Chain A
Amino acid sequence: MTPLGSIAGAVLSATPWRLDRRLEVDTRRAALSRISGAVSAMVVVGILLLLTGRNAFWILWQALDSILGSQRGIEGVALRAIPILMTALGVALSLRMKVWNIGSDGQFLMGGLAAVGVGIHMNGPGWLVLIVMAVAGTLAGAAWILVPALARAYLDVNEIITTLLLNFVAFQLVVWASLGFWRDRESAVIRSTERVPVILEKIPGAESVTIALFVPVIIAAALWWVFRSTTIGYEVDTIGGNPRAAGFAGIAVRRRIMVVMLFTGAIAGLGGMLQLSAPGAQAMNAGFSAQFGLSGFIVAALAGASFWGVMGGGVCIAAMFYAGVLLQTKGLSVYIIFASYGVILTGIALGEIAARYRLARRDTEETGTGSDAVAADHASEGAGS
């Protein structure tokens, strides 16, 4: 059962309808289903905009033009995509094992915080500072999920709550750092930490996009390879399928949970460091993470934990957010933009569900899979958590 399938199944349990899992999911058809979900959602948004007296076609044109009309637009999307992709890849990795890391925002923030601490205190050649910052950010992200990982692996404590709550702790630490111990005191009014004097190298020809762009691509490729060709990947997938069975098969389940959870935190933490080292950022403040963790989680959930799906979906969502911000400068209200995000994401989610399930009435007889399959799925998840 996919995460979305569970949610949709729960919603439908109050109706005479149920979801039947499709035995075979054709990837092309699944992609088509998601795209048609997005497109029909956009049509709904467009109709709502027209009904409220706004020119939906002009807005769409402005959105496309802001993204594709200039190099700045393309780079703007890339800049937004990097942090979203990093948190999304971390979450997608954890979802392979059916572990829900809701705390990637906190791990992202801690990665940035560790990197800023190194960056403002360390003297040395720029490249060395950046490497130490990257290591510190990665370790800080992993450290931030250490306790939830130990609790999940050895005490069976639900990681959803623990990782989620640590987001708020990380946020308060960032506020404290930016108003307290690492505050930029030069003018006593700036509400952020001091600025790190080094930034990553820009991609040749780019105005603002740095080599950070390659990092999520490399990580996605590495994860894809691990899950395609290595025993560890196979074991993690097996644990995701049925942890009890994996244990019977001799897989060190607890240790694998630890490793995977630490890696998911580490990737998000490195994402924080990359964000900090982008031109124009270079300091931490309360707005450092524009809900990047949450966006990453949405991407990973919609992509069904497929790493290349995460890459494509992450770029699309970054483009949507980028266009949304720029539409604000054209006088479109932020509430309309947020509502449109919601409708479009819901459309994609419905497309995803439609690709994997089909709707059936409860009273019809079914052969093969059916609600029993869904129930069995729930049971196995219950045993796993």
Chain B
Amino acid sequence: MTTQKNRGLFLPPSAMVSRREALKMGALGIGGLAVGGSLLAACGDDDEDVSSGAKDKIKANWVYIGPPDDNGWSQEHDRGRKAVVAHFGDRVETGFTPDIGFDSSTSQVFQQLVDDGNDIIFSNTEYSQLLTDVADANPETKFCEINGHYYSDNVLPFYLAHETTAYLLGVAAGHLAENGRIGYIGAFPTATTFNDVNGMLLGARSVNPDATVETVLVSTFFDPQKAAQAANALLDTGVGFLFGVMDEPTFLQLSEEAGVWTGYWNLDFRSAAPTKYVNNFDLSEFGTFYIEQCQRVLDGTWVSQDDVWLLDTPLGAWGPNVPQDVQDAVAAEAARIDSGELNVYEGPLYDNEGTLRLAEGETLSSLDAYAITYPVEGVSGVSAV
């Protein structure tokens, strides 16, 4: 069983930019693969199965945790799938499998998709062994597992570099929440949650040194009722900004009703909170990524890699009532992050139990942040793993 390890291929943030460029070029069909391939070759990685032959037509399937019209996470992935359809026409036969949870029948779903002749299968949540056991047994089928932490020749984990996005939203929250208290609805105590709450806390503290993030974990990504309970609990305690990783926008409506600033992970959903909407994570890179992966399968050049493939995740468009000076302040911080002047995780940094995690001068890259295991000081409601 291969687990997370560094086998030589390490892509620093600068290389990631060039890879993203490569990705865009690939989407236009001009030699992106050569760049990607040479990049891999340059790193001397010789145990990847590179050539399985070009194909005229391929079959791809997307496995979603929720319905494809959830007004959130799964909908954004399905927008990516539709981008594949628009780009390739009938060269890529796409399908999707919605509402797949985390029980033993999930493995049967993946096995069936393999038996149906899919060349590549994308999943929009981490199914871990429910997916990877099937992948191991079917080395000819390619898998792209979002937020995955299993690395093998036919499983490529991909995710979003969202700690920077959370930081920028935190800067906005620090300006907007007068009491400096940010509420966060999370699902599980994993790196996704840590990067969200840490980014928001550190961004907010850059404005308001007393800012805090109060977390409620609800053990699900898609359960409007549980999300509403958590939102009401946080709103009742008087948070000044409410954010969460929920796949659907129930908590936005509740924030609007309570007159509390709010933002969303997945897409621009200002209609749920017309006056209190701040911003959202922009997930439109999914389409580009999916097109790139399908192109590689078509060309017979698809390879896995030893590190997660992180997608760029900018902020979206501002809500109508966010003051211009707040927008400008966030833009200034975004420029500092892009230039490398500012890191989200910079020492000295303590976790919320008082342990020093990063010494003076130390920083974490996006790849390091992908494996983070602790919430920073100032975050409550969740503890280190």
Contacts and interface: CB of A to CB of B under 8 A. Distances in A.
A287 B98 contact: no
Contact of B104 (A79, A191, A331): A79
B112 interface: yes
A76 B109 CA distance: 11
A191 B191 CA distance: 11
Binding site secondary structure of chain B: loop
A334 B99 contact: yes
Interface string B238-267: 000000000000000000000000000000
A123 interface: no
Given A183-B385, A329-B113, A290 B219 contact: no
28 contacts: A76-B108, A79-B108, A80-B104, A179-B189, A185-B385, A187-B371, A188-B190, A189-B126, A189-B149, A189-B190, A190-B126, A190-B128, A191-B128, A195-B129, A280-B107, A282-B129, A287-B102, A287-B104, A287-B106, A290-B101, A290-B104, A322-B105, A328-B97, A329-B61, A329-B95, A329-B97, A331-B95, A333-B99
Interface in B40-55: none
A187 B4 contact: yes
Nearest to A192: B128
Given A185-B385, A280-B129, A326-B108, A179 B100 contact: no
A183 B3 CA distance: 16
A251 B275 CA distance: 71
B236 interface: no
B98 A333 contact: yes
Interface string A69-100: 01010001001100000000000000000000
A190 B192 CA distance: 12
A321 interface: yes
Contacts of B104: 79-80, 275, 278, 280-281, 287, 290
Nearest to B106: A287
A188 B129 contact: no
B188 interface: yes
Nearest to A324: B105
A326 B109 contact: yes
B360 interface: no
Contacts of B128: 190-192
A196 to B, nearest CB: 12
A189 B105 contact: no
Most interface-central of B106, B188, B371, B373 (chain A CB within 10 A): B188
Nearest to A66: B112
B56 interface: no
Contacts, number: 97
B383 to A, nearest CB: 10
Nearest to A282: B129
Contacts of B191: 188-189
A283 interface: yes
What 5 A-B pairs have minimum CB-CB distances, sorted nearest first?
Answer: A287-B102, A290-B103, A287-B103, A334-B99, A188-B373
Given A179-B189, A185-B385, A329-B97, A285 B102 contact: yes
A286 interface: yes
Contacts of B116: 329
Nearest to B100: A328
Given A329-B109, A334-B99, 10 more contacts: A80-B104, A183-B385, A186-B3, A188-B373, A189-B371, A283-B129, A287-B103, A288-B103, A328-B97, A334-B98
Interface in A285-344: 285-290, 321-322, 325-326, 328-329, 331, 333-334
Given A192-B128, A283-B129, A334-B98, A325 B105 contact: yes
Contacts of A76: 108
A281 B111 CA distance: 15
Most interface-central of B4, B106, B129, B373 (chain A CB within 10 A): B129
Contacts of B109: 325-326, 328-329
A179 B188 contact: yes
Interface in B105-136: 105-109, 111-113, 115-116, 126, 128-130, 133
Given A331-B95, A334-B99, A325 B108 contact: yes
B98 A286 contact: no
B154 interface: no
Contacts of B102: 191, 285-287
A25 B333 CA distance: 79
A283 B371 CA distance: 22
Nearest to A338: B99
A108 to B, nearest CB: 12
A166 interface: no
